[in-house]
Structure 1
Amino acid sequence: MSPPLLAVDGLGIRYRVGREERQVVSDISFGLEAGEVLALVGESGSGKTSIAQAVLGLLPGNGRISAGRIVLEGTDIAHWPERRLAPLRGARIALVPQDPVTSLNPVRTVGAQIEEVLELHGERDRTRRRTRVLELLERVGLGPAAQRTGQYPHELSGGMLQRVLIAIAVALRPALIVADEPTSALDVTVQRRILDLLDELRREDGTAVLLVTHDLGVAADRADRLLVLRRGQEEESGPTARVLGAPRSAYARQLLRDAPSLAAPPPRRPADGPVLLRVEALAHDYPNGHRALDGVAFTIPRGATHALVGESGSGKTTLARCVAGLLRPGHGQVRLEDTAVEALRGEALRQFRRQVQLVYQNPFASLDPRQRVREIIEEPLRNFAPLPRAERARRVAGLAERVGLAPELLNRLPAALSGGQRQRVAIARALVLQPRLLVLDEAVSALDVSVQARILELLAELQRDLGLTYLFVTHDLAVVRQITDTVTVLRQGRVEEAGPVGQVFARPRSDYARDLIAAIPGRTAIPEGALS
């Protein structure tokens, strides 16, 4: 039997932090055959990205391989110097990174950036390089190639940029591609097209793929085998169907339970209470003439959760800003009970914002890095509610406890918190003024599956106990299926479909909604009782 394309044997990785070294990966072993997909899955801190970086020879400066071997095509490259590794990257092993925006040079055309890879690896003939660039752009579905080659990154969408990165990765026909969260920032339909492209290239060229992902739905659909990691150690591994169908470890079972794309949707109660929010015939044009919203209408009953879904550019965020009073629509009306939001001005608008609070996607960017947690949660009270200092402190402490923040965290800065803890701070800050409506703008999309599950559980608990109403803006339809009562599907600023979640997901009327729902990853079935 021939050896695997890639064999990782007893891998250990350590990072230097100050004067000490910390073990982040211990005794990891796996093999990867030509044409195979192996998914590394686990929470933040599980070691999956460090393993991928070690395979590429791209560990950060304070990291080192402390044990084991990385054997690529029969040669141990674990301790090769950079001068030997550099020619391998691109030629035999390539990377598709997570963020195409930061991975491409903004001042060079995409054609020049693909051509550079060919030139660096020895193709001196300019005509042949340019011909190959056109071939690659067409191959990854970026036609007309002659036009695309002269465009700059800012002129392309996120999905198109990811295709450019794939073109760069496959330019030299590598034997192995390391795909590090290659679709985590993309809409479900764009995600499906990118993953389909990788599958097609893999089948045509026999390229192996080491897929790093926290999305178990993606892993379920695309990987031949899974390696489940926890705190730098192997928790479970094996064929995807076996791990999903009969997970052996409690941790793997919990990960699968937490994955919204793999879980059965829970029954939702009818959303038929008094209307809290009413949006009527809403339309908005931006100064460049782009119509972001066109006749949008929906209602949210008090205590219910309504989702706005759609691809990038569908108008979701514009609509959320209109609801929050941050943007005045050109036409139509937003009413919070008897208040016409678009008519508010000055102090009346400022006071309205006590009633509607926003929780953003990136808690780190939305929290002041110079303020301590206590000050962040307290700030809205200082701005809106002239309460004695002791009463403000009591409210902050009580709310922090309510959202699961330990008392010792109140004196920390945001940089000292995990992603899940930061999002809890953002939720506490939004709740401190006791609003009637929370607008959650991609509030869990940047979180690992287990952290995401805990935040969603917290939101459900707060809704039950406090009677909160949620407007949930997201591109993650798997989450929508799990937690919302009603949904509006937007496409290019118009309502494509709307209604109770169960009805829309089970019997979508429009082709667009059907395509969105069909693109939800994780269609692999888990046998009943497998996770009990």
Structure 2
Amino acid sequence: MGPADCRGARLPRPRLVADRLARPRRRPRRALGRAHRPRHRRTVPVTAPLLEVEDLAIRYDDRRVVQDVAFRIAPGEVLALVGESGSGKTTTAMAVLGLLPPNGRIERGAVRLAGTDIAGWPERRLAALRGARMSLVPQDPVTSLNPVRTVGAQVAEVLRIHGERDERRIRARVIELLERVGLEPAALRASQYPHELSGGMRQRVLIAIAVALRPALIVADEPTSALDVTVQRRILDLLDELRRQDGTAVLLVTHDLGVAADRADRIVVLRDGRIQEAGPVRQVLGAPRSAYARQLLRDAPSLSTHRHRPASAGGDIAVRVHGLVQDFPGRDGVPFRAVDGVGFELRQGTTHALVGESGSGKTTTARCVAGFLRPTAGEVTVCGTDVAALRGEALRQFRRQVQLVYQNPYASLDPRQTVARSVEEPLLNFEPVPAAERRHRVEAMAERVGLPRDLLARQPRALSGGQRQRVAIARALILQPRVLVLDEAVSALDVTVQAQILALLEELQQSLGLSYLFVSHDLAVVRQIADTVTVMRAGRVEEAGPVEPVFHAPRSDYARELIDAIPGRTAPQILESVP
């Protein structure tokens, strides 16, 4: 049955990842039987690779995007594919699963699962393998789960499609799977819809679906990139536990070298569809042969041997927050308190970080500082101005002093405007200067943030993620503000692009005397860029102070848990030797 709205009319069912993993529905018992014949496993020696990719080349339309890729994964082993966006790592993983988009095809090469080349198999034969012998844990649980079906129904679907018909056994297996991935009380979780679960809970549902039929291979495509560090660690721990219990092999796709260092046995580094480096973790991290691998190591905050910059005393107080309280309307007229008694100081020319898990209140605090929310109680002073007292034109003019840079530069830029128009827009709103003067200031600011002049005539869709973020920074700086609020401003960027933007921010701060309020859940980046830090939890301050003592000797259990969850902490202590 398809989902229906409140009037009972049938709606088109969204094509979700779970649907693609479970198709086709016809003759599931026979297909599943072929996939599980015992003789296949008996004829393959224990030492033989479970997955072997050989001389793989993949093409999208007339463009080759992967070339000469080869690797092996043994049963129970974790192999990490690492690289930047566009490196070919996800394309390679999807080719293994037979889930390339319609314009993609394997041009040559082999994908052998337990000794059998499945690269040329038709969709129907591949569908019998997906879920039963190999499964996918996708990156985004929001778009991968059906919003109008319960969690239990979506876990049960993969069991039904692969031949199970006894509803009592299905219900019992669903509860068993949800308990196994730590979703308790399992009966309650099974009856809930995805929107009623947190991001980490939704990712556990996807893992339950992936392991339902005890596959020999799990492809985990950036399974934790959108999660807080503590939730990330729990999800990765869960995958490790399932791998140890069942002997499952894992192909881990990630751009985070810290995660790869902690969780993988071997690493394959991809760039522009080609392998740059491959080998055991200790070899690749300790003695990388390629310049690209060395660059990735230098740029990875979680693996950086430069833990943080020297603390700066700073100048006068740029931002002072005292006793901040922010309530929002709640259910049954009871207000929800998002921020409860928060206080900190940001000195001119320094960076103060607000860190914590989702729901900790850090973004709400930042929006109060920027004047987008009026506090329920407390004091917010920016450059000597009481923000809560501002109204009308005074509040509008205040925004010249404080500018925001958001996490997603594509969503914060008008897709119909050119880069030049986006950067000059604040000037049109606040400074009615002649067109020639505006053009000169826009060009000067573009040069300042490292944007080539020929990009000014383009629209955001024609830029890379790093270029779009540079546009967002240029737009924020065009009015010469004194404070920048950076809300997860580098969390969506690849590690190399992230390093470039962080270096740009540091150079701008030193040359312009800017003060940064840096909101992030990535403690590795905070350790690298911030002078002082406030650790928040459930709207309250758990710990605060200079970065050095907070990171090296945290007083609170929660701060210690956050810091211990930074990926890369368990990597071999051989990174100091990296040239």
Asked if TM exceeds 0.5, the reply is: yes
Partner of 1:191: 232
1:485 aligns with 2:531: yes
Partner of 1:5: 50
Give the partner amino acid of 1:309.
Answer: V
1:37-95 deviation line (CA, Å, top 9, x unaligned)? 00000111110010001001011111110110000011101011111111111000100
Name the counterpart of 2:559. Answer: 513
Residue 354 of structure 1 aligns to a residue whose secondary structure is coil
Identity within the alignment, %: 73
Give the equivalent residue in structure 2 for 1:307: 353
Residue 36 (structure 1) aligns with: 77
1:284 to 317, 320, 326: 326
> Could you report, residue by residue, the CA deviation over 1:209-257 in whole angstroms, capped at 9, with x for unpaired residues?
0000000000000000000011100000000011111111111011000
Please tell me whether the aligned partners of residues 307 and 487 of structure 1 are also in contact (alpha carbons under 8 angstroms).
yes
Is residue 399 of structure 2 the alignment partner of residue 357 of structure 1?
Answer: no
TM-score normalised per structure 1 = 0.98
How do 1:285-434 residues align onto structure 2 when only pairs under 5 Å count? 285-288=327-330, 289-434=335-480
User: After superposition, what is the alpha-carbon deviation per residue over 1:491-516, rounded to whole angstroms, capped at 9, x for unaligned?
Assistant: 00000000000110011000000000
Q: For the residues of structure 1 that align with 2:301 and 2:555, how far apart are their CA atoms?
A: 23
- Cα 1:418–1:526 shift into 2, 3 Å: farther
Specify which of 241, 256, 259 is matched with residue 297 of structure 2. Answer: 256
Amino acid at match of 2:376: G
Aligned with 1:163: secondary structure? helix
8 Å CA contact 1:283, 1:295 repeated in 2: yes
Taking the aligned partners of 1:290 and 1:118, their CA distance within structure 2 comes to 40
Matched, 1:473 2:519: yes
**Residue of structure 1 equivalent to 2:179:** 138
> For the residues of structure 1 that align with 2:464 and 2:347, how far apart are their CA atoms?
34
- Deviation (angstroms), 1:337: 2.4
Question: Of residues 130, 147, 158 in structure 2, which corresponds to 1:117?
Answer: 158
- How far did residue 414 of structure 1 move? 0.5
Give the whole-Å Cα distance in 2 for the aligned partners of 1:259 and 1:366: 26
> Would the aligned equivalents of 1:69 and 1:76 in 2 still touch at CA under 8 Å?
yes
Cα contact 2:543–2:550 (8 A) shared by 1: yes
Q: Could you say what secondary structure the match of 2:303 adopts?
A: coil
Counterpart-to-counterpart distance in 1, 2:102 and 2:270: 23
Q: Say which of 211, 216, 220 aligns to 2:252.
A: 211
Q: Bigger CA drift: 74-83 or 269-278?
A: 269-278
- Is the Cα contact below 8 Å between 1:405 and 1:424 reproduced in 2? yes
Is contact 1:247–1:530 with CA below 8 Å preserved after alignment?
no
Cα pair 2:285 2:575 within 8 Å, conserved: no
Q: Is the 8 A contact 2:524 2:566 kept in 1?
A: yes
* Structure 2 partner of 1:164: 205
Output the CA distance in 2 between the equivalents of 1:79 and 1:422: 39
Q: Distance in 2 between matches of 1:273 and 1:254?
A: 35
How large is the RMSD of aligned CA atoms in angstroms? 0.8
Partners of 2:450 and 2:57 lie apart in 1 by 34
Partner of 1:525: 572
Distance 2:441 2:312 in 1: 33
Secondary structure, aligned partner of 2:214: coil
SS of the equivalent of 2:302 reads: coil
Summarize the alignment of residues 232-271 of structure 1 with structure 2, pairs less than 5 Å apart.
232-264=273-305, 265-271=307-313
Instruction: Report if aligned partners of 2:85, 2:494 keep a CA contact under 8 Å in 1.
Output: yes
- Could you give the per-residue CA deviations for residues 441-497 of structure 1, whole angstroms, max 9, x where no partner exists? 000000000000000000001001111100000000000000100000000000000
Instruction: Give the structure 2 partner of residue 107 of structure 1.
Output: 148
Partner of 2:191: 150
Q: For the residues of structure 1 that align with 2:430 and 2:383, how far apart are their CA atoms? A: 21
What are structure 2's unaligned runs of at least 5 residues? 1-44
Match of 1:95 in 2: 136
Shift of 1:528: 5.5
In structure 2, how many angstroms separate the alpha carbons of the residues matched to 1:218 and 1:106? 29
Distance across 2 between alignment mates of 1:271 and 1:429: 28
Q: Deviations over 1:287-309 (max 9, x none)?
A: 10211001000000000000000
User: What aligned pairs does 1:426-505 form with structure 2 within 5 A after superposition?
Assistant: 426-505=472-551
Q: Supply the distance in 2 between the matched residues of 1:423 and 1:444 (Cα, whole angstroms).
A: 8
Number of residues paired by the alignment?
528
- Cα deviations by residue, 1:8-46 (Å, 9 ceiling, x for unpaired): 000000111xxxx11110010000001000000011111
Partner of 2:169: 128
Moved >4 Å (runs of 4+): none
> Relative to structure 1, is the Cα distance of residues 228 and 528 closer, same or farther in structure 2, using a 3 angstrom cutoff?
closer
Once residues 530 and 67 of structure 1 are traced to their aligned partners in structure 2, the CA distance between those partners, rounded to angstroms, is 39
Matching residue's letter, 2:485:
V
Among candidates 266, 269, 272, match of residue 225 of structure 1: 266
Matches within 5 A, 1:32-71: 32-71=73-112
Q: State the alpha-carbon separation in 2 of the partners of residues 104 and 77 from structure 1.
A: 27
Secondary structure of the residue aligned to 1:261 is helix
Structure 1: give runs of 5+ residues left out of the alignment: none
Q: Which residue of 1 aligns with 2:217?
A: 176
Q: Which amino acid aligns with 1:202?
A: R
| Corresponding residue for residue 15 of structure 1 | 60
Please, which of 265, 268, 273 is the counterpart of residue 315 of structure 2?
Answer: 273
Amino acid at match of 2:282: A
2:134–2:219 Cα contact (<8 Å) kept: yes
**In structure 2, C-alpha distance between the alignment counterparts of 1:491 and 1:451, rounded to whole Å:** 29
Is residue 244–residue 526 contact of structure 1 (8 Å, CA) maintained in 2?
no
Task: Tell me which moved more, 124-133 or 517-526.
Answer: 517-526
Q: What CA deviation, in whole Å up to 9, does each residue of 1:181-229 have, x standing for no partner?
A: 0000000000000000000000000000000000000000000000001
Cα displacement string for residues 159-178 of structure 1 (whole angstroms, at most 9, x for unaligned residues)? 00000000000000000000
Secondary structure, aligned partner of 1:226: strand
Question: Aligned partners of 1:294, 1:144: CA distance in 2, in Å?
Answer: 30
- The alpha-carbon deviation at position 267 of structure 1 amounts to 3.6
Q: Alpha-carbon deviation of 1:269?
A: 2.6
